[in-house]
Amino acid sequence: MSKDADPRSRRKDPRASCSWKVRVVNAQKKQFKGKVVNVSLGGVMLETDSAFSIGENLYMEIQATHQNKNQVIVVVGEVTYAALGKGGHHQIGLKFATDTSKFRNFLREYVADKAI
């Protein structure tokens, strides 16, 4: 695999593993459920039962927790990576496409504590 083909080579920010519930809504207003499996200051990786296309914008409500703090992260993300993962779940990488300043401190603390 070439370096350019590896999605990790495109990341600007360190990622941290997590297992957060997420509600996703696509442009057609169809809702999906999934799980955020890792997060950074710039985006997330989701596992879902549904496929999404690269370039698609998705509205997300992420139920995040860290050190007994709950945070609902509401953001739009652009799909930058899509693949079928182990167990038949779709792995969807998204970069945040809307302002995340409201959640930045929470994400920064989480990633600092849990970085991969």
Boundaries of every domain in the chain: 3-114
Among 24, 46, 33, 48, which Cα is nearest to 93's?
46
Q: Report yes or no on whether pTM surpasses 0.85.
A: yes
Q: How many residues are recorded in the chain?
A: 116
Q: Rounded to whole angstroms, what are the CA distances from 15 to 29, 111, 115?
A: 29, 6, 6
Tokens of 90: 């779709």
Tokens of 36: 């955020």
User: Would you place residue 56 in the very low, low, confident or very high pLDDT band (cuts 50, 70, 90)?
Assistant: very high
- pLDDT at residue 77, as a whole number: 98
Sign of CA dihedral 86, 27, 5, 13: negative
**Protein fold of 3-114:** Thrombin, subunit H (2.40.10)
Give per-residue pLDDT as tens, 84-94: 988 899 999 99
